Structure 1
Amino acid sequence: MDAVEEIKARLSIEDVVAEYVQLKRSGRNLKGLSPFQAEKTPSFMVSPEKGIWHDFSSNKGGNMFSFVMEMEGVDFRGALEILARKAGVDLEVYGRSRSNSKLKERISEVLELATRYFQQNLAKNPDSLSYLTAKRNFSRQTIIDFRLGYSPAVYDGLVKLLTKRGFSDDELIRAGLAVRRRQGLGDMFRGRIMVPLMDQFGGIVGFTARLLVDDPNAPKYFNTPQTILYDKGRHVFALSQAKEAIRTSKYAVVVEGNLDVISSHQAGVRQCVATAGTAITEGHLKTINKFTSDIRLCFDKDQAGLNATERAIELSQGLEIRLSVIDIKDAKDPDELINKDTNAWLEAVTKPIYAMDWLFERYKNIHNPTSASGKKNYTDHLMRSIRRLQDSVEVEFYLAKLAEVTDISLEAIKSKYAQKTEALKTPALRKSKASESQDPKSDQLAYQDQLLGLLLLYPITRRIFETLDFDPVFATTERQYVFEFVANNPHVTVGGEIPEELQSVKDYVNIITLRAEELYQDLDASARLIEVNDLVRRLQKDHKKQKQIEISDAIKEAEDLGDYARVEELLSSYNVLIKE
């Protein structure tokens, strides 16, 4: 037995999913509201018997590992480690490399001890506590929730403590807690308010440190350097505290400062996170995108913040992200607005400006779109952003808007757009269009899955074959394969064990039988037969429609070739078909 099998043996999919979704019994299965889409009617199904789940609103599904990957935004290895901890399975027993794991464990342990040290020192230092409560207006509970602390202005207080606890100089340096100076190994952070940086599960990976007393010779803020646990280009501050609110609200608010995040959470906007100041990267956006595609930016209104917003918009256009910008009016940052008017912040996050509309206004303030040179610069800047859009409707809309704002003809704007557009098309756009055209599981074909699920689960419905007067053609090879199996095995029930002949399409069979069981388990045999008849009639209608299209295409081709005898023959076939 390998690690995966042992975890499956110790945990049930029901227990794993129930930590995230409220489930109710539905026959042999369980159902609940989708954790991925807003809905009122449950479409999320779990089969304890088969150990699978499927969300019919988003067409996602799989086993307990894929579910944790979706919910926690991790890869398979991450899901394996999460479930191993839940199951009490030691992955070391299964021969996994432990060199990095051991180091990570030691670094994680020393960072946790450092956090407690900073928390204890905050309680002992009235000035640092006053800064947080009186100046930043943080409540005691907020200070506890975010584990805020204080690093004393001493040379090596933390180093001495951790050395006594058995940690080596190398471990302290690699954790980002110590640095070598002429006087010897000393604390990295001194005389600063300490804000722990956590991974998405709440483990400490580093710190943001703010000077308690401003010093022109020292940076006001600085972070832990890059370590084995802390990746500045991917780490998103407060994701562990915000992820549930992000899932519930279906959007994330991204601000510039960690203290802005804490203020926002205290004000009630708990779906708020921060990147590494204005240094936002594609890695940050991808991390947040694991939880939502609706990202709302609110960087400071200085030049650095405005530039970072532009950069984030550019990065997002190559990803499947809907980016918008929160307008905080005259406030310089979210914290200032929250302290002035909390309700204004609560309202602002619900009324963001879509990224492209924000750019239109942003460039209008930089260039004068009424002069000749202003029109050129304005259109040049916006054209670059429009060319990166991946939706043709959006492209048309913003080209028309650009023509209106600049008072240039739409024809001229479209001509400018056409220049270099083909060369600028992104691989992501080509990929999305290709996959869109090849998607076999659209809603229009769901009835075929319902028909096959009924035929698999309830052999009595196969009586339909006795009166079938056409050869059914399904939209995909896997559907056609399942139909042929059912037609050739009239008495085989497919409910629990999947027959050997269907192992190659096992995942598909599990999904359609799970759905069919939910839809039809309460019907009697006659009602199921009626349902099958209705679905077969629809299949026949689609089959007929497809034949009509094929004959129409063949007629056009014959006309182009001047083969009028063939045209007459095809017209005769077409007339017979429409009279059937």
Structure 2
Amino acid sequence: MAGRIKDEDIALVRERTPIADVIGEYLQLRNAGGGSLKGLCPFHDEKSPSFNVTPAKNLYYCFGCGEGGDVISFVQQIDSLSFTEAVESLARQTGIVLRYEEGGRSTSRRDEGKRQRLLDAHRAAAEFYSEQLLSPEAVTGRRFLSERGFSRVHAEQFGMGFAPAGWQNLTDHLRRKGFTDAEIIEGGLASQGRRGAYDRFRNRLLWPVREVTGEVVGFGARKLDPAEDGPKYLNSPESPIFHKGRLLYGLDLAKREISRQGKAVIVEGYTDVMACHEAGVTTAVATCGTSFGEDHLKILRRMLLGRSNQGSKVVFTFDGDKAGQKAAVRAFAEEHGFTSETLVAVQPDGLDPCDLRLQQGPQAVVDLVEGATPLYKFMIRNIIEGYDLSSAEGRIAALDAAAPVVASIRDEGVRLDYGKNLDRWLGLMDESFVLRRVRQHMRRGGSQGTTRAADRPQDRPAPTPDAQSAPYDLRDPSVQRERQALKVAVKHPNLARGFDTLTDEDFTVPQHRAVLQLIRAQGGIANVTDPESWALTLRDAAPNDAQRDFVTRLGVEEIEFYGELDEHFAQQMLSTIRTHSINRRESNLKSELHRIDQIAQPEEYNRIFVELMQLGQQKRALQESDSGGM
């Protein structure tokens, strides 16, 4: 087995690998003077750049979180690699042949890092699929592309491929390349059957999903034969290298233009990304079978340099149907983490960018993006459309529904402007009255940006209070998250692994704690033997009409998600609830710690301090578990 990499080779890797180029693949860097570069730290969440890179010294350091090191330690940290794996990865990129203390090259497959092995397998798979797209069997796939206005040049630009209909075409090909069945299965390229490994993708058109660095880490696949079983779109499963919640399709192609233009366009599908790029909207990206979330937001914010880069824009494109409206609501929930301006582009006739380009030409796609509406305006207009503005009662009801959105705007000048517009849109002709209503909502907490007032009165699920009629505000993001988790636990207990570990402290309202206790009284999620009748079992066991009604609502309400409703989605949701619960407890303990006299009450001070340390350990363990893909 090859031994330790020679010190002089490690030094050569450091010398020949420009740290600014490597880090620039993950975040936008700008000149900070004195030979330094600055950007948003990729290792902690921040709004202003505190991550500094000094190319002359080949070092980086974040003054916000204290992370620092050289180009090797950066790659270790950002890609979760060992020191040896990071050196080998950089050596491959720079063409350096490494030598080891025991002699010889690192040619033994046993010596290669698991991550690199999986990346190599995906590179081989992408090449195989690309070649297959030219085969006679792929005529349906080529026809699919042609019907949508894409040529062979477009397919090659995006690295597209075709998975043959057989059960072991790719698996056999990778075996011949020296990859084991265990590696092929772990990477998500094959599944485990009773007779061994078999191809995950069969008779499908494929889009390779790449990291920002250009490495293929997974695939998105579209079914070509409607008569075949399986979903229309099938993505790679979660794996050591594929985490769909942290990937944006097309980012490897769009990253430089996003940084240069200070603009990112979020679309909903792979062909939409292709259509946008071909129309000249080269900053378009899409999520990979999941909803746009906090990790996606962090990636784009680093590319756009956060709030310090005034004038940057994020444009969401949505269909004009109800699903598109709901997607806009979710975008609004994430808006406060974005840069200065977030916009929504909705095509009234419901055409997505791909169909729009096909039917009306590429300029129509450009016009759609350029004509985007500010997200706040879209939300407010969307809300008031659900009310009868011909009556005084309807206008006042619309005002009370829309005022929290206006109140959530942080910039005072923008908030005032939207308050005046709201008065005009409602036809009240009394600006002072409208602005007074907005200020009332600000005092209630609306200015924290937690309002979800987009639910129209006819669409809004009415929460059922418990016997004590405790407050229940669906505009509160914590309530929204917890309600989503309870829906999964009630409707799909087979996906809610880990729900039983939640405690009363993890839920913010009595109604949710009551459902948790009800589930616990029935033996918990782990003991559900009949998932289909589980909701009815809970309903029948509810101790009173209020709880019975609440469980019923949970069992019939839609679960908001994109892509596949799978165990990973459920685990992410539960993990988020635990994290927010820990954050609440940490905040309370820190407040308590500040009120205690350390000298007069040393035992109490130490008790709280120890508890804070334990919570910090729990949070880190949870983060490590998430990064491993639950």
TM-score above 0.5: yes
Please point out which of 320, 325, 328 is paired with 1:309: 328
Partners of 1:308 and 1:269 lie apart in 2 by 21
Q: Is 2:418 the counterpart of 1:417?
A: no
Alignment-mate amino acid for residue 362 of structure 2: T
Report how far residue 270 of structure 1 moved: 1.3
Q: Which residue of 1 aligns with 2:258?
A: 246
Partners of 1:233 and 1:209 lie apart in 2 by 17
Q: Which residue of 2 aligns with 1:78?
A: 78
RMSD: 4.2
Partners of 1:19 and 1:135 lie apart in 2 by 40
Indicate the SS of the match to 1:116: helix
Q: Taking structure 1 as reference, are residues 403 and 138 closer, same or farther at Cα in structure 2, changes over 3 Å only? A: same
Report how far residue 400 of structure 1 moved: 1.8
Partners of 1:18 and 1:113 lie apart in 2 by 24
Q: Is 2:189 the counterpart of 1:170?
A: no
Q: Which residue of 2 aligns with 1:345?
A: 365
Report how far residue 426 of structure 1 moved: 7.3
Report how far residue 196 of structure 1 moved: 0.6
Q: Which residue of 2 aligns with 1:107?
A: 118
Partners of 1:228 and 1:373 lie apart in 2 by 56
Identify which range, 212-221 or 364-373, moves more after superposition: 364-373
Partners of 2:268 and 2:357 lie apart in 1 by 14
Please point out which of 389, 393, 415 is paired with 1:369: 389
Percent identity between the two aligned chains: 25
Alignment-mate amino acid for residue 280 of structure 2: G
Q: Which residue of 2 aligns with 1:10?
A: 15
Checking the alignment, whether the CA contact within 8 Å between 1:318 and 1:388 is kept in structure 2 is no
Indicate the SS of the match to 2:356: helix
Alignment of 1:326-405 (within 5 A): 326-339=345-358, 340-372=360-392, 374-405=394-425
Q: Taking structure 1 as reference, are residues 59 and 287 closer, same or farther at Cα in structure 2, changes over 3 Å only? A: closer
Report how far residue 221 of structure 1 moved: 0.7
Contiguous gaps of at least 5 residues in structure 1: 22-34, 38-42, 430-580
Report how far residue 18 of structure 1 moved: 12
Checking the alignment, whether the CA contact within 8 Å between 1:334 and 1:345 is kept in structure 2 is yes
Partners of 2:404 and 2:171 lie apart in 1 by 52
Alignment-mate amino acid for residue 138 of structure 1: F
Q: Which residue of 2 aligns with 1:553?
A: none
Q: Is 2:54 the counterpart of 1:63?
A: yes
Checking the alignment, whether the CA contact within 8 Å between 1:331 and 1:337 is kept in structure 2 is no
Please point out which of 128, 140, 151 is paired with 2:152: 140
Q: Which residue of 2 aligns with 1:436?
A: none
Checking the alignment, whether the CA contact within 8 Å between 1:318 and 1:428 is kept in structure 2 is no
Q: Taking structure 1 as reference, are residues 77 and 7 closer, same or farther at Cα in structure 2, changes over 3 Å only? A: farther
Q: Which residue of 1 aligns with 2:128?
A: 117
Q: TM-score, normalised by structure 1?
A: 0.60
Partners of 2:376 and 2:345 lie apart in 1 by 13
Partners of 2:179 and 2:171 lie apart in 1 by 9
Q: Is 2:307 the counterpart of 1:291?
A: no
Deviation string 1:254-277 (CA, Å, 9 cap, x unpaired) is: 100111101221222211111135
Checking the alignment, whether the CA contact within 8 Å between 1:326 and 1:352 is kept in structure 2 is yes
Q: Which residue of 2 aligns with 1:255?
A: 267
Contiguous gaps of at least 5 residues in structure 2: 1-5, 40-48, 102-108, 305-311, 451-630
Checking the alignment, whether the CA contact within 8 Å between 1:254 and 1:297 is kept in structure 2 is yes
Partners of 1:190 and 1:229 lie apart in 2 by 21
Partners of 2:405 and 2:449 lie apart in 1 by 15
Alignment-mate amino acid for residue 238 of structure 1: G
Q: From the CA coordinates, give the structure whose radius of gyration is larger.
A: 1
Checking the alignment, whether the CA contact within 8 Å between 1:128 and 1:150 is kept in structure 2 is no
Q: Which residue of 2 aligns with 1:224?
A: 236
Alignment-mate amino acid for residue 10 of structure 1: E
Partners of 2:96 and 2:119 lie apart in 1 by 20
Alignment-mate amino acid for residue 120 of structure 1: E
Please point out which of 222, 239, 256 is paired with 1:210: 222
Partners of 1:229 and 1:170 lie apart in 2 by 15
Checking the alignment, whether the CA contact within 8 Å between 2:126 and 2:208 is kept in structure 1 is yes
Checking the alignment, whether the CA contact within 8 Å between 1:209 and 1:223 is kept in structure 2 is yes
Deviation string 1:23-82 (CA, Å, 9 cap, x unpaired) is: xxxxxxxxxxxx878xxxxx77564xxxx4579xx998541354999xx9x888339958
Alignment of 1:24-103 (within 5 A): 47=35, 52-53=36-37, 62-64=53-55, 65-66=59-60, 77-78=77-78, 102-103=113-114
Q: Taking structure 1 as reference, are residues 184 and 17 closer, same or farther at Cα in structure 2, changes over 3 Å only? A: closer
Q: TM-score, normalised by structure 2?
A: 0.55
Q: Is 2:169 the counterpart of 1:157?
A: yes
Partners of 1:123 and 1:61 lie apart in 2 by 47
Report how far residue 402 of structure 1 moved: 1.6
Partners of 2:12 and 2:156 lie apart in 1 by 34
Checking the alignment, whether the CA contact within 8 Å between 2:191 and 2:198 is kept in structure 1 is yes
Checking the alignment, whether the CA contact within 8 Å between 2:148 and 2:355 is kept in structure 1 is no
